Amino acid sequence: MSLCELCKLQAPDNTCARGNTIPKKMKCIDFTPGIERFCATPGDYAGKKQIYQMAVFFGLTGKELKRVQTM
């Protein structure tokens, strides 16, 4: 899994809309998380704690994790 899969800026052709290269680590200056990227089915959304736990499981830390929390 890459960070781009959780970001709204990922274009349909798996490139960044801002022209960034795909990061090898779970860090990106332009990371913009989207709830639809974490839960494909809205009925699966169970609350903020669920999204936070998923983000930690995927390896998000630092600024990226804070952006998920404020989403």
Buried b (16+ CB within 10 A) or exposed e, 10-33: beeeeebeeeeeebeebebeebeb
| pLDDT over 90 (residue 4) | yes
Q: What is the pLDDT of residues 13-43, one digit of tens each?
A: 989 999 999 998 999 999 999 888 888 787 7
Going from the C-alpha of 42 to that of each of 22, 45, 61, 71, the distances in angstroms are: 27, 6, 25, 15
Give pLDDT, residue 1: 81
Helix (H, G, I), strand (E, B) or coil at 64: helix
| pLDDT over 90 (residue 62) | yes
Give pLDDT, residue 45: 81
Going from the C-alpha of 20 to that of each of 4, 9, 10, 37, 39, the distances in angstroms are: 10, 10, 10, 19, 24
